[in-house]
Structure 1
Amino acid sequence: MTITDSRLKSILLSGAALGTLAMPASAFAQDAAQDAETADSNVIIVTASKRETTLQEIPIAVSVTSGEDIEDAQVRDLIDLQTLVPSLRVSQLQSSANTNFIIRGFGNGANNPGIEPSVGVFIDGVYRSRSAAQIGDLPNIQRVEVLRGPQSTLFGKNASAGIISIVTDRPQFEFGGQVEATYGNFNARILRGDITGPISDTLAFSLAGNINKRDGYARDLNLNQKFNNRDRWGVRGQLLWEPSADLSFRVIGDYDKINENCCIAANVRENPGITAALRAASGQARPLEAADPFSYAVRNNFPSTNVIENYGGSLQGDWNVGALTFTSITAYREVRSTTNQDSDFTSADLIGQNAANTSIDTFTQELRVASDFDGPLNFLLGGFYFNENIDFTNSLLFGRDFRGYASALIGAGTGGQLSAPILEGLLGVPQNTFFRQGQGIFDDFTYGNDAYSIFGQVDFKPIDRLTFTFGFNYTEDKKRVTSNVVSTDAFSNLDLVAIGFAQALAGRGVDARNPAAVGAFAQANPAVFAAIQAGAQNPATNGLLALRGLQFLPPFLNYPNAVESGRTKDDDFSYTIRANYEITDNVNIYATYATGFKATSFNLSRDSRPFPTDFIPGSPVTNPAASPIRNAGLAVPNLTTGSRFAGPEESEVYEAGIKAQWPLVAFNLTVFKQSIRGFQSNVFTGTGFALANAGKQSTFGIEFDGTVRPTDGLNLFVAFTYLDPKYDSFLNSAVGDLTGATPAGIPALSASMGGSYTYEFEGGTKFTVRGDYAYESDVQIAEGLPGFIVTNPNGTRNFQPALDIARQFRRQTDLVNVSATLELTNGFEISAWARNLLDDRFISTVFDSVAQAGSISGYPSLPRTYGGSIRFKF
């Protein structure tokens, strides 16, 4: 393990120097204004083990951020939370609903509705299966727990990389509430309020609502309007019924809506030849902005649509019977998402529509019983049922300029000999057959998932201070998918190899449509026939093959069919073995071995393709070799292989840690080796997604966090995560063999540090200042750029150029956030704040520009934001 970045070294050293003093507010979630007079001031209750315990006692790598810290740091959603938790990375890319969560470098699932994330998100114990159901602004947050490493034993459904558990305040039997108004740059307006109180001696309620609006910080110079705005609102109501001290029921209902023009993709690298073709096709002098992504200026020909509705309800019941507690959580949720985007990201009307509608209906039921015996043995036993149905439609259609654009590229690819009209004439098809406005591909997928799991955990304490834990989870998961995908792109339906083959035979006076004539010619002239076959597959002799790059919407082989069932069934037994020893009342050590599991994920995109075992690619004329799909008569033109689904992920972790807590100082230190076999890699290919299993991805890591209160009112904190990830084996990724490579997007070092100080004036008025710094070391931001992949005539691909280009794009982040709050004794608070104070700018990721080979697009970071808030608590 070698650290070569000098800045990385210096931060590690500074973190080590603070190690005897510090741990971040995110880890112990302490109120910065609270005096540290006793050890109890540091006690934080968590439910990471599905029973209440203190953060000090729980032998799990978990970071906890309190509602007060979230409020003070002006964290508005889960995307902002990563500045307080270094092991967590959250990114928002193509749309408002496209959010990806990564813990310790592991995570996936964004933007492909068939993939559940490897990081499970729970809100008040209810599993949220897709990112669109996770990103709304939540009121009344009590705390956010981030559990690092496989958590399949207790959480079961898709927790192979970790868990984010959001806990909100329960209704109170004492009347109270708050209202808050915020105004910031980019005309940001935020209004939040909540109220809680008793209805009777046994029934309490709470009601909360929020509105979050902001003008766009980017501008479309072609449309003369702002992009990347924020427009969200939501309501949430709760009832808490406690008919007795041993029985309670909590009902939660919520609705939130997002309606935003998001998200810009800036030009990072321009291909002059492509720009010239865009200019010729659209008649515009500047169809896209020059490669300056931080100008936040773009050119599109229509605004993006992002309308997301997320709503549902849950019922939780808890019943104490002696030393046993029975818990039931029942939930039903729906997500409705409508998006449309100018996916070529230019003012030329190439992609006239990329519209998607996603409907997700989810039902979950959890039952469990936990013991609280005085003796050495305690247990937890439960079951979980999950049912989900998804309907996903997507239409990608050519715009009015695509025909002219394609014609210009055809001319460039054939040395000016061909154009779209000339090509139509040569092939004997009517004019305006190819690249016509409104042609494209229409996707329609239906998806069903049923899963259940049985889980349990036993804690055995043979002697005082020593506890052994064994946990298990058996999961069975069934999925079924039906596709109805239709391509009306006439040019992509052409078999250019077969056409070249037919033209060569015609030159010999043989009609390729007559099998008997072809067979007779082949028998009489075997050497010539073999040369014709080879020549049809060689771009040097078949000039049509130079146009394959324009065939990016080929016909789709729908399934289920006679060869492909469209069904999967997985089962797995995961387990945890842990030893925990309390050295003193203030110091714990623990060691854990745990496994995790994530079931098969389906590729619900137009890049879903048959497995190589089911199909041999190539032309049926030049490659008549037998394969199940060919034998069944199912082959369609230009069909290639890939995957319909990626098989299960299986993770494991070896972990050891120490937790120490005193009245003024606390720290956690964790060392781990974590790996995932069959990691589900989901790579954007320009029009769809390539889904594949990595052989194995592993990460060695060190995590540290600590806090110290050297004097009344002063709280200092630091946290860092060091990761050394690699692909142990990944032969068939979407961009070639990555075995031995470092996975993209995972910084070697992530750090968060800062502090807060509260001064109390005579009379009780308080003034608090807070600052934090979040750092990520330099890292490559893309595995490769699949648009640069060259498909060879035999169906193989040349990947290396994509890898070389991707290595040129890197990211480093340096984010500084500050706030100051004046808290009056009458309940009023006045705050001023800034996030990304130094206006650090970086590209979060890059991809090959759609239908523009050689051009690269990327997503620029959010610029500096600042503002003020007024809050009244009662």
Structure 2
Amino acid sequence: MRDNTLFKFGITFFTGLFAISGLAVAQVDEIIVSAQKRETALVDTPVSVAVITSRDLELTEANDLSELQFSVPSVKFTQNQNALNNTVFIRGFGNGTNNPGIEPSVSIVVDGVSRTRNQSALNDLITIEQVEVIRGPQSTLFGRSSSAGVINIKTKLPEDEFGGKVSLTGGNDSHKKISGTLTGPLSDSTSFRLSASKNERDGYLTNTLTGSDVNNRDRYAIRGQILSDLSDELTMRIIADYDSLDEVCCGIAQINSGLVDGALLQAGILTARPPVGTHSGRFGANFDPSSKAEGRGVSAQFDLDLGSTTFTSITSYRENDFEASADVDFLPADILIESVDYGFETFTQEFQLKSDDSGDVRWLIGGSYLDEDIVNDRSVLFRDTAGIRNVVNTLLAIQGAPNITTVAGLVGTGAIQQVAALPSATQAAAGFANPAVPGTGLFVDANNDPVGAIGALTHPAFAPTLAGIVAGFTGTSVADSWFVAGQGIQGTDFDVNTETLQLYGQLDWDVTENLTIDFSAAYIDDKKTVVSNVSIIDNFSTVPVVLNPATAALTAIQFFPQFPNYPNASEDGVFESSDVTTSTKLIYSLDDNTNLYVSYSTGFKPISVSVSTDPAMYAGQTFDPSRYYAEPEEVTLYEFGIKKQLDNGYINVTAFSQSIENFQSNNFAGTGFNLANAEEQKNIGIELDSMIFFSENFFSTLAVQYIDAEFVEHTFGTCDRTRSGDPTDDCAPGERFRDISGTTPASVPDLSFSLTGNYRFDVSETTDGLFRLEYFHEAEHQATDTVSKAIAPRSVDMINAALNFTNRDNGFSVTLWGRNINDDEFIQTAFNVPGSDAQAAYPAPGAIYGLTVAKEF
């Protein structure tokens, strides 16, 4: 209620302020965007767009895209297990993390080229001209992976006069950054730009077992451009870039301490309980998490002026490599280690022909082709036999189940019962003598000695026969073959090739002087070919305990069930999907500075295929290939907007109803991820973006998003496989999914906003000053679908500030800046700890502040 009141007050107050827009104050430059693949004024663009300028980035010290979320409420980034494992949301829709086979719903475009994976776009931002956040489905013009929206980044062009800028930054946590750009002519028709940055910072978490700082920054990037007029009609722009990252990331914060921790402490496996507290700044891992990445790419854009039309060709090639390792039991016990080696190569080609802006009709047609190869190899291994067995026995005790040895006997009894149920002749043929003697069970053939249930499993005479009955039986003792160091996922070796073809067109028709119709359509065809060579050794996970209600709860400790390789008997490894998307907009101009629009748009994201070994079913269950991929997303958007350009600012208001059918969900279930489709997620909301000068010296911006989000139907919500006792998880043992229809999706606050005040002042005749204060609010909400809000809520109340002095004559500037100067404590996301009944979170950094000195020439 409080947030609703605040929202209503903010809208009323700020809208009322625009009633004084006729005051003779500072003139505001017109904002130009390319949200429709042609340059248009923001007020004339019938799409909901938020714009972040290079000046905004400098004053907020936003080093990468994830830091934009505190200036644009409709955008959200959540940090996960490693430095580049982020989920990007727009309007509460987002996915594409923790599984390279899942494409993101938000497309990141840099200078006209789509970065098909978030990992290739999350390094430091250098020489940025402008960032546009385009909300809602943009599949018609921007293709696949834009079913929720687009983040469109434009970098600064080379210039034909020598110039540049160098900046040095120092701050708390030993923060050091140097960046620079140099531009100038190579000839009368050719110019260049070279930009680079190096960014270092100590971590804000401490690993109590190694003493290391964790969640640090250590990355650099370099980018070169050539811009050339090859003739009066033909222009060429070549861009090459390289970036590298080598960081200790990502640490966690344990929210609570469970029964498992206490039992391990009592057993001597732990010497101390893990540090507890979402913002204690400490956690315990046997070794430091590691993230290493390299990216390189090149693109070539040619623009040919044909008079009344322009032909454009954009060709790109990109490679990215990523390695990570982590202690994924998230306990101070040496139990599990995960290693990831992931890379992709992407080739894209786009052709476009568009008319000029004159006349009553404007049009654009084009086509694009993508060819991408992804290689993903991952291993997760037991590190210590005693450690993992103690964890398992503790989990069994918590559930009232017997220990591993007794479980082995029960499994043996089950195996003998299977044998006893066979016809006598079949038993004899299988190697069992005297199978029909009443009351005496199985006998050893040579001596006719009776053997009990556990003995039947341990007696070598029965090993070959029982191995064929009880999958996982590997020696003279079943219990000794379970949970052994070195077992687990030995390797995955996935190879995914994707080919996507898109054909699109757009038509703008000025029906009258005030009314314009905008129609666009696209055909998208996507084909994925998956080949894998997965190797898993986890003997206990091959036992079909799920088939017996008395043992079904044991699925909680079946960490690594078998995974079907591609191709297999049910799937040839080829997944194809296609769709036609459209967008229809009616734009009515009230005057030269005011436009209303109403639109209906559809979006599409192709099939996603799991290239992680996280299972969809347990041993003994009927194989269902549909659980290993997610059907395409189909998006429907209704939107109404009003855009007003003022002499002293602007105000844009948008109301929308956006739904995604078959929303691709990939949620952590305590020991693995579940890939599934939510039948329908629907978000209804309103957005406001505004800026107003109240005087020549003072201006303010306000960006607001209010959303009512709901899973209209989601019968495949993720169950917690660790049986952690979360009261919202009502699944029976062995179940993987639950019906969460009617609930609010996680990571979607109902209210978020950013408010800034900016005061410009003169220090001297040659020196200007600017003070900027920003407040960002995000209402409390559930951080992740598998941990309740009661256990792991997220809310943000952050204050950022900057004080800048710039000398117009010599180009020197000094900026004192701070992010989260009030040291607000909040989490990014949360999860159930594997092999435990506890929960943990990825905490956000606290206060960051520093001083930047720059020289422009």
- Deviations 1:100-159, CA, capped at 9 Å, x for gaps: 111111111112100111111100011111111010112110000000011111111221
Q: Give the counterpart of 1:277 among 263, 281, 289.
A: 263
Relative to structure 1, the CA distance from residue 184 to residue 414 in structure 2 (aligned partners, 3 Å threshold; closer, same or farther) is: closer
> How many angstroms does 1:491 deviate by?
2.2
State the alpha-carbon separation in 2 of the partners of residues 302 and 383 from structure 1.
49
Q: What's the CA shift for 1:99?
A: 1.1
Shift of 1:867: 0.8
Aligned twin of 1:81: 68
CA separation of 1:344 and 1:387: change in aligned 2, threshold 3 A:
same
* Alpha carbons of structure 1 residues 572 and 538: separation in structure 2 relative to 1, 3 Å: closer
SS of the residue corresponding to residue 59 of structure 1 reads coil
Change in Cα spacing, 1:283 to 1:807, as seen in structure 2 (3 Å) is closer
The one-letter code sitting in structure 2 at the alignment partner of 1:159 is S
How far off is 1:545 after superposition? 5.3
CA distance in 2, matches of 1:224, 1:737: 44
* SS of alignment partner, residue 72 of structure 1: helix
The match for 1:474 is 523
Structure 1 residue 479 displacement after superposition: 0.8
Displacement of 1:411: 7.0
Q: 1:571 aligns with which of 575, 578, 581?
A: 578
Match of 2:751 among 746, 749, 768: 749
Of residues 603, 623, 626, the one that matches 1:596 is 603
Deviations 1:736-790 (A, max 9, x none): 11111111110111111012111123422011110111111111222225xxxxx
Structure 1 partner of 2:659: 675
Instruction: Structure 2 unaligned segments of length 5 or more: list them.
Output: 410-453, 459-474, 720-737
1:330 and 2:315 equivalent?
Answer: yes
Distance verdict in 2 for CA 1:125–1:411, change over 3 Å = closer
Q: Structure 1 206/553 Cα, relative in aligned 2: closer, same or farther at 3 Å?
A: same
Match of 1:186 in 2: 173
Matched AA of 1:758: R
Q: Conserved in 2, the CA contact under 8 Å of 1:410 and 1:418?
A: no
TM-score with structure 2 setting the length: 0.87
Q: How far does residue 686 in structure 1 lie from its aligned partner after superposition?
A: 2.9
Distance 2:575 2:262 in 1: 47
Matched, 1:247 2:234: yes
Between the aligned partners of 1:416 and 1:320, the Cα distance in structure 2 is: 76
Correspondence for 2:840 among 852, 857, 863: 857
> Is 2:497 the partner of 1:448?
yes
Q: 1:415 to 1:73 in 2, by over 3 A?
A: closer
1:809 alignment counterpart = 792
SS of the counterpart of 1:81?
A: helix
Aligned to 1:362: 346
Q: Deviations over 1:408-430 (max 9, x none)?
A: 43773697964559948763244
- 1:315 match: 300
Verify: 1:833 aligned to 2:840, yes or no. no
- 1:306 maps to what in 2? 291
Give 1:10's aligned residue: 6
Cα distance, 1:136–1:479 mapped onto 2, change above 3 Å: same
Residues 151/548 of structure 1: CA separation in 2 closer, same or farther (3 Å cut): closer
In 1, Cα distance between the equivalents of 2:333 and 2:508? Answer: 64
Q: Secondary structure at the match of 1:210?
A: strand
> Equivalents in 1 of 2:753, 2:476: separation in Å?
62
Give the superposition deviation at 1:11.
3.7
- 1-structure distance, mates of 2:227, 2:600: 38
Distance 1:74 1:242 in 2: 35
Match of 1:868 among 842, 846, 851: 851
Report what 1:823 is aligned to.
806
Please state if 1:737 is matched with 2:739: yes
Q: Distance in 1 between matches of 2:392 and 2:834?
A: 17
Q: Are 1:580 and 2:587 matched, yes or no?
A: yes
Separation in 1, partners of 2:840, 2:107: 30
3-state DSSP class of the match of 2:70? coil
One-letter amino acid of the structure 2 residue matched with residue 170 of structure 1 = L
Task: Give the Å deviation of 1:56.
Answer: 1.5
Q: Say which SS state the counterpart of residue 56 (structure 1) adopts.
A: helix
Partner of 2:432: none
Residues 1:416 and 1:87: Cα distance change in structure 2 (over 3 Å): closer
- d(CA) in 1 for partners of 2:267 and 2:389? 5
Provide the rounded CA distance (Å) in 2 between the counterparts of 1:325 and 1:371. Answer: 6
Question: Is the 8 Å Cα contact of residues 410 and 420 (structure 1) preserved in structure 2?
Answer: no
8 Å CA contact retained: 1:361, 1:388: yes
Q: Distance in 1 between matches of 2:403 and 2:691?
A: 70
* One-letter code aligned to 2:206: R
Instruction: Give how far 1:462 is off.
Output: 2.1
Aligned partners of 1:843 and 1:861 also within 8 Å: yes
CA deviations on 1:316-354 (whole Å, 9 max, x unpaired) are: 111111110111110000110000000111220010x20
Aligned-partner Cα distance in 2 for 1:579–1:322: 29
* Partner Cα separation in structure 1 for residue 793 and residue 754 of structure 2: 20
| 1:61 counterpart (48, 54, 65) | 48
What whole-Å deviation, never above 9, does each CA across 1:220-253 have from its counterpart, x for those lacking one? 1111111111111011001011133432100000
For 2:533, the equivalent position in structure 1 comes to: 484
Over residues 165-217 of structure 1, what are the superposed CA-to-partner deviations in whole Å (9 max), with x where a residue is unaligned?
00000100011101111011111101101100001001101111100100111
1:468: how far off?
A: 0.7
1:843 aligns with 2:839: no
Structure 1 Cα separation of the partners of residues 538 and 125 of structure 2: 44
- Whether the 8 Å CA contact 1:605–1:688 is kept in 2: the answer is no
> What RMSD in Å do the two structures reach over aligned CA positions?
2.1
Where 1:12 maps in the other structure, the secondary structure is helix
- Contact 1:402/1:437 (8 A) holds in 2: no
Among 486, 491, 512, the residue aligned to 1:438: 486
In the TM superposition, residue 437 of structure 1 has moved relative to its aligned partner by 1.2
Map residues 310-459 of structure 1 onto 2, 5 A cutoff: 310-351=295-336, 353-372=337-356, 374-400=358-384, 401-406=386-391, 408-409=393-394, 412=397, 418-420=403-405, 423=408, 427-428=457-458, 429-430=475-476, 432-441=480-489, 442-459=491-508
Q: CA separation in 2, counterparts of 1:410 and 1:763? A: 72
The answer for the alignment partner of 2:37 in structure 1 is 50
Q: Please tell me whether the aligned partners of residues 410 and 547 of structure 1 are also in contact (alpha carbons under 8 angstroms).
A: no
Q: What SS is found at the alignment partner of 1:71?
A: helix
Q: CA deviation at 1:283?
A: 3.7
| CA distance 1:82–1:319, change in 2 (3 Å) | same
- Closer/same/farther in 2, CA of residues 712 and 373 from structure 1, 3 Å limit: closer
Q: 1:409 to 1:326 in 2, by over 3 A?
A: same
Residue by residue, what CA displacement relative to the aligned partner does 1:516-543 show, whole Å, maximum 9, x if unpaired? xxxxxxxxxxxxxxxxxxxx8242xxxx
Percent sequence identity over aligned pairs: 36
CA separation in 1, counterparts of 2:97 and 2:759?
39
Q: Return the alpha-carbon distance in structure 2 between the equivalents of residues 289 and 212 of structure 1.
A: 30
Cα distance, 1:832–1:463 mapped onto 2, change above 3 Å: same
Instruction: Name the CA distance, whole Å, in 1 between partners of 2:232 and 2:58.
Output: 32
The count of residues paired between Structure 1 and Structure 2 equals 769
2:644 and 2:75 map into 1 onto residues whose CA distance is 22
Partner of 1:532 in structure 2? none
What is residue 519 of structure 1 aligned with on the other side? Answer: none
Contact 1:552 1:687 in 2 (8 A): yes
**Once the 2 structures are TM-superposed, how far is the Cα of residue 433 of structure 1 from its aligned partner?**
2.3
**What is the CA–CA distance in structure 1 between the aligned matches of 2:100 and 2:132, rounded to whole Å?**
25
Cα 1:394/1:210, change in 2 over 3 Å: same
